[in-house]
Amino acid sequence: MTVGYTPAGKRIVRRASGKTKTEAHAALREKIREYEDGLSQAQTGYTVAQAVEDWLTYGLTDRAASTVDKNRHLCKHIVAGLGARKLRDLTATEVDRWLLQLAKNLSTSTVQRVYECLNRVVTRAMARDKVKRNVVALCGVPTGKAGRPSKSLTLDAAKALLSAAEDSRLYAYVVLSLLTGARTEELRALTWARVDLDGRPNDDDPMPPFIQVWHSVREGGDTKTRKSRRTVAIPLRGVVALRVHRTLQDQDREKAGCAWHALDLVFASSIGTALDAANVRRAFRRITKAAGLNPADWTPRELRHSFVSLLSDGGVSLKDIADLCGHSGTSVTEKVYRHQLRPVLLTGAAAMDRIFADGNPGA
């Protein structure tokens, strides 16, 4: 049936077929209605799995390879549960049932991320006339299994951890993370150019030794948010640990010779290359085991939680803790960070020197 004409005068024809004349007429009426309503015509044989692969291949071209790999891993759940389903026949009820099934085995945050992947997959397919509407947007995300709760070290456990780390090449890393609250991805991106171990005592506004937490290993090299950028004073234990660490790194540089990668990283491999999260986790597990802790119960990110807890126990105000962590307010801890570059923050270093006084050289 001719339903209209293009600006060039060419006929716009819609065709439909069916096993019976009645079915054919019904299918034709639907296509005419879609044309009149301005709706796209969905492709009949296009599956969810095909839509997923299209999104992974062409929809993430501006993302880092690690981001693509992470999304590909999440999409395995989609392909396993819904991949064979024709996209045009997918219903909101089917998606709801599938999400509930996922929630029995996955954490809420993982179910949320899988849902977001499917939503983007179908949105892209709809924009390319593969399906008429996005039924995923009509669904909610169910509560999944409880995730692993974060926790913090007690003062005694923190002291034991620092003691156990002294013989490790990760010692300075553990000290900085625990005593300044810097995130693991921020420390792995820290360069010596952003470290001042002498401070500026002769300035009009004297400053103690400090680190500039201005970068991370995230895509683009910036911190978690722009508000995370901050400059933080280093406690005395941290200064000593970094001096020793730099000496050991100089020895690594001489030993590596031409194989050394001059990336200026504070925490690097024996040839100067960047550490990845797996490197840090493995070394940290060995330290926790040596400290008498269960390695399966602790991760490097919990050093930051311990930093906040120890400062709070040491009498530091919540507002000062938020400043030291780069938080924009006490009610948004760990989530929202200050926009402006902070001056050197002294409270944390002073408090940590007091809390760990018995371990400071010359104390």
> Which positions are annotated as active-site residues?
183, 224, 304, 327, 337
Q: Are 50 and 124 in contact (CB under 8 A)?
A: no
Type of residue found at 28: L
The shares of helix, strand and coil residues in the chain, as percent rounded to the nearest 5, are: 55, 10, 40
DSSP state of 259: G
Q: Is the dihedral of CA 148, 155, 246, 181 positive or negative?
A: positive
Q: What is the DSSP string of 268-285?
A: B-TTSPBPPHHHHHHHHH
Backbone angles phi, psi at 2, to 5 degrees: -80, 125
Strands (E), the chain: 2-5, 11-13, 195-196, 210-213, 230-233
What's the chain's Rg over C-alpha atoms?
28
Q: Are 12 and 31 in contact (CB under 8 A)?
A: no
Q: What is the DSSP string of 146-171?
A: --PPP----HHHHHHHHHHHTTSTTH
Provide the edge-to-edge strand list for the sheet that holds 210-213.
195-196, 210-213, 230-233
Rounded CA separation 235/324 (Å):
13
Backbone angles phi, psi at 128, to 5 degrees: -110, 25
Start-to-end CA span in the chain (Å): 92
